[in-house]
Structure 1
């Protein structure tokens, strides 16, 4: 008997609250897809993928907390909407234990259905994600195999099983606290909406504009420099401005529209405005949080793939040699050849090497460049003879300089653009009170050693005599392998140790740098995409559930509209308009935030390597539109069904 009631209730819930099942199915799908990445045979043996999966397992715990909270929120919404039904069960003599048993059965059925549908959808989605992973890890696409990860299925069932178990416990606890009178009269209790003086909303809106204006201006000025305290201040003002925006919105809309009588009294606009205002007024905190999550989603999805392009180009520019080993000491130092002899590090016959030294003479980039903030960026000097040795080592033509000539090297956009502007304006540069002629017509794009990042920010090649009185700050040995046994030599050059007083020996191989960067980059991409999609689903689900809650609370109002002569078409139009407005409000502000966020992030990425994010932005837009449209349409249909079934 009780199982029949539970099955009947689930069927009814599918019809009226499809958004709940859509959210559960998508949550299972996303969770399985991202946890099954490592199941591809072509990726299983890669150490970088195993590291990725370890981190993803920790991220999945955080994701499960978010999804679990969302499921509890959605379940709580459903319970509130069914108070009258549960009250009738009690009136008919059914005890709280029996009602709890029905709810447990319902939760179990919903869990099984959601897991099955979500896993089926996830198995399909994971194949697309797997091909994306192959591309990220530079594995040929013909290595792809259709796979179903039993381990990920087990993990998904376990995590979501725990979530549904918590829901069952929550339902039993909630039912135990309810009284019959509260359940039966729940439908007659409407929340009183209290509007403050319009002046308060106007002041809040002015403060909102000021806060957001300050946040945008500050972050665009300082960029995403985490060491600058203005970044945190800008973020704080951005959050404050977002909250003030939604707080002031309810009163401001009502005030502005009331001034325009033609709009206010047209059709059922007065009803729509009151509905929107009441919901925004009571949910401005959650709408602010939704807006910020959508902002993160848009920026992360837009920049994720573009970031991969930049890092790939950057690592290529940063690794011109098979390996490099250096000893660094800023206040004067060591020669790499002497250091290697002392630590008994030998160069074999199968390795070709070249040595060069770098010097600091107490000059910063700001001494030469007038545009940009370069006060802390030191200019590195290299002897002409050392630079020619590097050119010869790379089988390139050597250069000649007179005593009054220099060359300028860089391989970072942050420096290359202002240096080129400097050269175009004047091909002369003042070094320690003497004027030198810049021989190159534009900056030479070159890295003088293999490293994890492009390290030639602002390098000047000058005649040997000029540097004769200065101490070495960094001494470098660059190596190319002469045979194919790269793994043996790669291990040899993976070194990091202290040397002497204040000295550091660092060894890096091209393959090691590429592998480390691939792990870091791909890990970051997967995490931001994973979080972005989960935040998007969570945001849309909360908006949808709030609207469906509004539908249940407003049934009496729609009955009044029907008695006043409003037909079904007019009522459906009001439902469509208010659902569209409610969904659009947080999205609109999130898009404005995202314009600034993408601009700042693009500037940061382009300072390392010029890139085009059009493709990743298009992919992000498609993902966003599909999920947004799906939730909007499902919410609209669900809202109509609730109203129609109660009229």
Structure 2
């Protein structure tokens, strides 16, 4: 009996459940898709190291899925609360007819089970389809080849999805039972007559708050643009806090500030139903300014991650060939208290030997304490780079060039060579060299022998990190401070990276098996070409994948909350719509004001999120540009496409639902 009532209720209220169904289906689809990656790896031809990164990715996705489950669980409870609130009068009638709270709770439990089963089935269906495309994306991002393509259904991912969402629906059942136990019949039957008073504070308060908002956001933007992506700087954290405060103040002040301005524009305020539309919008923004602030920040994160993630990955990976000019490098950062201050001595102490036909170059980097900006004027876009200039001996430079059969150079005592390959600094250095043929170092003028910047990495690294290295006579370096000792190697026998793998393994084995490693060899860092390729690819892909996962979840959650708030507002404002209908407003005019309200309410957090994103993307791109020029064109198009599709789906569904709720009550 109760199951039949529940089934009829779900059929009858299908329009009310549209947003709920849509959100649940998308949530299940995304959850399954990202958790099904592990089942695809069996069909990928990868090295053992690359497979380690795939396994790391699946492990991280599992942990992140717990956070995603919490977010989606909160969203489901929020949506369920809206549905219960909308059916208060119906539940009150059940009680009036003598149905006990326990029986009503049972009906709601059956309804939750029905909705849960339908959404799980539909979500898993679309998730299974989406996961096939996701597996192709994983193979492309990791640059794997699939030995064969098979349509894969992950039973493990299905099980995890059912368990996680089963727990969510169980919590919904408990929540519904608790809510019903607290209801009184009189409250349920009269809820439709209770209207929310639209109260506005003194306009001066909103004006002051709006000014504070502009000040907070302006300061935050300026600070982060000046600092760049320097997350360790306290000013960076202050800028983030100011940005959050400014966002909250924006939505708090927006309602009263706009009302204050529009009221003084009589031609707009008293035209048609504008006075009603504006007060409706202001009422809702004023009530939900905190949730709108959170939604705005979530959308900002989504736009930023999806727009810059692909460009960040592509920029780093495209520079790998230039940042790994040798089969392997090993370097030793030297400090005054260290016992070992030479990488050659470190190699000897570890028993690392090279074959006679291997090409090996030892060299040292020196610093004098002068920063790059002390030597070469930097433009405004790179003036925040606080890096010391490095120096190497011309004899060492010739050894490095000889590894790849490059020609040697000769320098007079008063001559130098300028080398750099960091994209952010190159324009300033090139400009200086074009306008000057000398450079001042430690109060001594030196002639710049090369007409163009020598663009190269002097050792293997994750990125192009030669900010500014000056090749100079040996005597200058002997008087400077040793900072790093490096060895570069090109192995004769390096088929499939065998030579560099053996080299790295020998050093790592010595580290593990010697308690006095630091005293005997110092802290040696290895950087083989193959390992850097795989580590870089694995790291960037993992970060990107997790970012996409969270970004899509944030986007769906944000749109769903906006939709539910609007539909809730429609239910709360029925008497107002009935009133304006009685005084002559047409249905066409009412539908027009519903469209305007929905559009503006959906657009406000999106617009501010886009403003935040312009600043955030610029800062992120400036950071990436230090190593390689990013291209966000393709990523931005993909982001815009995903964003627009989800936005339109939720906007249209919300507008249609809002209109149906209102039109069903007015004549």
TM-score bracket relative to the smaller structure: over 0.9
CA contact (8 A) 2:248 2:289 kept: yes
Q: 5 Å matches for 1:31-180? A: 31-40=31-40, 41-43=42-44, 46-140=51-145, 144-180=149-185
CA–CA distance in 2 between the matches of 1:156 and 1:426?
65
Q: Is the 8 Å Cα contact of residues 322 and 509 (structure 1) preserved in structure 2?
A: yes
Alignment of 1:62-461 (within 5 A): 62-140=67-145, 144-331=149-336, 334-348=341-355, 351-371=358-378, 372-373=382-383, 376-461=386-471
**1:567 is matched with which residue?**
586
Q: CA deviation at 1:599?
A: 1.0
Aligned to 1:605: 624
Q: Does the CA contact (< 8 Å) of 1:257 and 1:264 recur in 2? A: yes
Superimposed CA distance per residue, residues 178-224 of structure 1 (whole angstroms, 9 cap, x where no aligned partner): 11111111111112222111111111111111111111111111112
Kindly indicate whether the alpha-carbon contact (under 8 Å) linking 1:215 and 1:238 is maintained by their aligned counterparts in 2: yes
Q: CA RMSD in A?
A: 1.9
- Could you tell me how far apart the structure 2 residues matched to 1:525 and 1:375 are? 26
Corresponding residue of 2:523: 504
The alpha-carbon deviation at position 142 of structure 1 amounts to 7.6
Report the CA distance between 1:600 and its aligned residue: 1.0
Question: Residues 403 and 490 of structure 2 are in contact (CA less than 8 Å); yes or no, is this contact kept in structure 1?
Answer: no
Please give the secondary structure, in 1, of the residue aligned with 2:471.
Answer: strand
Q: For residues 358-398 of structure 1, what are the alpha-carbon distances to aligned partners after superposition, in whole Å with 9 as ceiling and x for unaligned? A: 22233321320222447842222111121112212101222
Counterparts of 1:79 and 1:286 in 2: how far apart (Å)? Answer: 20
Q: CA deviation at 1:252?
A: 1.4
Instruction: Provide the secondary structure at the position in 2 that maps to 1:524.
Output: helix
Deviates more, 1:94-103 or 1:365-374: 365-374
Q: 1:600 to 1:468 in 2, by over 3 A?
A: closer
Query: Are the equivalent residues in 1 in contact too, given 2:217–2:243 (CA < 8 A)?
Result: yes
SS for the counterpart of 2:369 is strand
SS of 2:319's equivalent in the other structure is helix
How far apart in 2 are the matches of 1:350 and 1:179?
A: 90
Q: Which residue of 2 aligns with 1:628?
A: 647
Contact 1:17 1:638 in 2 (8 A): no
Task: List alignment gaps of at least 5 residues for structure 2.
Answer: 512-516
1:29–1:122 contact (8 Å) kept in structure 2: yes
Q: CA offsets per residue over residues 531-551 of structure 1, 9 Å max, x none?
A: 111111111000000000011
Structure 1 residues 166 and 374, CA, compared in 2 at 3 Å: closer, same or farther? Answer: closer
Name the SS for the 2:217 alignment partner: helix
Question: What residue number does 1:28 align with?
Answer: 28
What secondary structure does 1:452 align onto? coil
Q: Judge conservation of contact 1:406–1:460 (CA < 8 Å) in 2.
A: yes
1:502 CA displacement:
10
CA distance in 1, matches of 2:18, 2:173: 20
- Hey, what's the Cα distance between the residues in 1 that align with 2:160 and 2:462? 35
Distance in 2 of aligned mates of 1:374 and 1:157: 50
Separation of aligned partners in 1, 2:609 and 2:471: 48
Contact 2:463 2:627 in 1 (8 A): no
Could you tell me how far apart the structure 1 residues matched to 2:53 and 2:498 are?
16
Structure 1 unaligned segments of length 5 or more: list them: none
Distance 1:52 1:23 in 2: 26
Does the Cα contact within 8 Å between 2:323 and 2:459 map onto a contact in 1?
yes
Q: Which moved more, 1:453-462 or 1:597-606?
A: 453-462
> Which range moves more in the overlay, 249-258 or 138-147?
138-147
Counterparts of 1:55 and 1:528 in 2: how far apart (Å)? 11
State whether residues 491 and 499 of structure 2, in contact with CA within 8 Å, keep that contact through their aligned partners in structure 1. no
2:445 partner SS? strand
Give the Cα separation in 2 of the matches to 1:469 and 1:563.
92
**Structure 1: how far apart are the matches of 2:268 and 2:466?**
62
CA gap of 1:364–1:254, structure 2 versus 1, over 3 A, is closer
Partners of 2:346 and 2:521 within 8 A in 1: no
SS of alignment partner, residue 557 of structure 1: helix
2:498 counterpart of 1:493: no
Moved more, 602-611 or 486-495: 486-495
The structure 1 residue matched to 2:612, chosen from 559, 580, 593, is 593
Q: Displacement, 1:516?
A: 1.7
Partner Cα separation in structure 1 for residue 267 and residue 307 of structure 2:
41
State the secondary structure of the residue aligned to 2:463: coil
**Which secondary structure does the structure 2 equivalent of 1:370 belong to?**
coil
CA distance in 1, matches of 2:205, 2:175: 39
Please tell me whether the aligned partners of residues 354 and 393 of structure 1 are also in contact (alpha carbons under 8 angstroms): yes
Closer/same/farther in 2, CA of residues 9 and 375 from structure 1, 3 Å limit: closer
| TM-score where L is the length of structure 2 | 0.93
- Match of 2:390, SS state, is strand
**Counterparts of 1:607 and 1:375 in 2: how far apart (Å)?**
9
Contact 2:457 2:464 survives alignment (8 Å): yes
- Is 2:43–2:146's contact at 8 Å kept on the other side of the alignment? no
Change (3 A) 1:443 1:164: same
What SS does the corresponding residue of 1:477 show, helix, strand or coil?
strand
TM-score normalised by L of structure 1 = 0.96
SS in 2 for 1:334: coil
Task: Give the SS at the match of 1:378.
Answer: coil
Closer/same/farther in 2, CA of residues 350 and 186 from structure 1, 3 Å limit: farther
Quick one: distance in 1 between partners of 2:624 and 2:465?
A: 15
Q: How does 1:460-479 map to 2 (within 5 A)?
A: 460-470=470-480, 472-479=482-489
Deviates more, 1:339-348 or 1:535-544: 339-348
Conserved 8 A contact 1:330-1:360: no
| Equivalent residues of 2:346, 2:522 under 8 A apart | no
Equivalent residue number for residue 536 of structure 1: 555
Q: Is the 8 A contact 1:414 1:607 kept in 2?
A: yes
